[in-house]
Chain A
């Protein structure tokens, strides 16, 4: 069948046509994905950067032009107004702070829950390991939005938990769980747990069992073996898992919007509101630029962790 494709007239014509423009197969193969990503990934950031220096106004589009033609040529209107807002209005700084705090603690919780699971899966045998792994991966394939939604029914005032506790007589008043930071933590840990488990598992499964036997043979108790052998060797996995949770959580919108209360102040939500409610595009852009800067370090850490993981792989 492939024979037919390669030898078919249209295929040959296309090749000849491209060759006319000096595009060899190799050049074309490189050019297509590069151009796509340039136009739809890199340039958009430049546009965001540009607009973050503009001023909001009621117009279409709702921001001032950076370079405007005037009588004597061009005028350049760089405005730092948006950034000034961010610094002066405590709301933005508080939102960055609370985003980082929520991201940090939910990453920690996810690690504490995910590590034993990853370890157990990595140490279980054959068929069991595959089944457990599949159970971890399956939530990836089910709608994220709907899984967050499921928690509303569980946590709300007349939800499943309150109904159960009330009917058992354990509580008399419904607990307030929805629209609190607690609900946001639950939602985030629940959603991002698989992102923590998978890199940890990938790391732990490579751990040579004979290292643990050697450690035990040399007189280390299991807890010492864990602290001195397993934990240090799994650091790249821990780092990768933590960054894979931390980075997207900082910018998370859906979970605070659905489970959080009015005082759950996360930066993703601020950006969303700035854009959709206030139609203040320059400020939304400035919020995005600062968020990117905040995330540069975690992204570099992730890169490092993944390089480490890959080196492990090639080292074997």
Chain B
């Protein structure tokens, strides 16, 4: 018994060390003065300055942020609709198909999704002349499609956990279906919508493979630029970029945690 009690915390500690040591090393060495990334040459914020003056990275970041914002928002609407249809609307003949199509993008290897969408866009262009060429729009469509699945999963689980009699009560008191959705359903699933949107935003911002397939000249996203740089070896600039992105996420998580810790105390009072 004692044995097990020592084994578990040690195993867990080592597991977390495995998850976090690389990130910590990355952040520490982003403040390295030396150009040799792996040899400590003193503290400096020099590479952050370099990063903020690199037009290629800044341009790609701006494109990625726009794509992520639009894709996440579209995916939020479409994913919520899909989740709503799957949990709240009774049987119709292609419901199993819709359910399968909603879940499948989650596990589909990215190379397949990327390839298949590219081939579709090429075929569509040949047939209808749209989308003319590939770039911003096609990346948005591709990202919306796979982010939609994540939103649908998150929202679906919230909707099926939700007590349906609350919606019935609203109908019973005279609210029409659209009203019920806006008055009752939406406020109840708001946290799930928020996390669905954020998840989509980060997934889109992070995607390399699908974007590489469906993008065209002139639309290089941040991961594409990072990938081409990283293939040539480690660069102190990328360390700085990674640390900035990790910093933003850590801040976001800290705020979310603070909100979570705050809210139960409020309701107790």
Interface residues of A (CB under 8 A from B): 2, 5-6, 25-26, 29-30, 32-34, 36-45, 47-48, 51, 61, 113-114, 116-117, 119-121, 123, 130, 132, 134-136, 138-147, 149-154, 156, 158-160, 163, 190, 193-194, 222-223, 243-244, 247-248, 250-254, 257-258, 268, 271-272, 275-276, 281, 284-285, 288, 291-292, 295, 299, 302-303
Contacts and interface: CB of A to CB of B under 8 A. Distances in A.
Q: Which are the 10 A-B pairs with shortest beta-carbon distances?
A: A251-B109, A44-B116, A33-B82, A2-B182, A116-B11, A150-B22, A146-B242, A44-B120, A37-B101, A120-B12
B65 interface: no
Given A36-B148, A145-B226, A288-B111, A150 B26 contact: yes
19 contacts: A6-B178, A33-B78, A33-B81, A34-B98, A40-B144, A61-B122, A113-B18, A120-B9, A140-B199, A142-B249, A145-B230, A146-B238, A149-B234, A152-B234, A154-B25, A156-B234, A247-B107, A288-B111, A295-B109
Contacts of A34: 85, 94, 97-98, 101
Contacts of B15: 113-114, 116-117, 193
A160 B25 contact: yes
Contacts of B178: 6, 25
Nearest to B86: A33
A153 B122 contact: no
B81 A288 contact: no
Contacts of B238: 146, 149
B16 A48 contact: no
Contacts of B132: none
A223 B78 CA distance: 48
A40 B142 CA distance: 8
A163 B105 contact: no
B98 A37 contact: yes
A142 B250 CA distance: 9
Contacts of A113: 11, 15, 18
Interface string B229-269: 01101100011011001100110110001001000000000
Contacts of A248: 107, 109-110
Contacts of B7: 116
B205 A143 contact: yes
Contacts of B16: 117, 132, 135
Nearest to B243: A146
Given A30-B85, A40-B141, A134 B116 contact: no
Nearest to A127: B261
Nearest to B1: A222
A141 B22 contact: no
Contacts of A51: 119
State the main secondary structure of chain B at its contact with A.
helix
Interface string B82-106: 1011000100101001100111110
Contact of B111 (A121, A154, A222, A268): A268
Nearest to A49: B116
A250 B119 contact: no
Nearest to B82: A33
A247 B106 CA distance: 10
Contacts of B81: 29, 32-33
Given A123-B8, A153-B37, A284-B115, 17 more contacts: A6-B182, A36-B144, A40-B144, A44-B117, A47-B123, A135-B20, A140-B202, A141-B253, A190-B19, A190-B22, A194-B19, A223-B4, A258-B230, A285-B119, A288-B115, A291-B109, A291-B112
B144 to A, nearest CB: 8
Contact of B119 (A44, A154, A223): A44
Contacts of A5: 182
A134 B253 contact: yes
B109 A149 contact: no
B119 A281 contact: yes
A258 B223 CA distance: 13
A38 B94 CA distance: 11
* Most B-side CB within 10 Å, residue of A39, A51, A143, A288: A143
Given A116-B12, A251-B110, A159 B38 contact: yes
B194 interface: no
B82 A288 contact: no
A244 B18 contact: no
Given A152-B230, A291-B112, A120 B8 contact: yes
A305 B179 CA distance: 37
A2 B38 contact: no
Given A37-B82, A41-B105, A222-B1, A253 B223 contact: no
Nearest to B21: A154
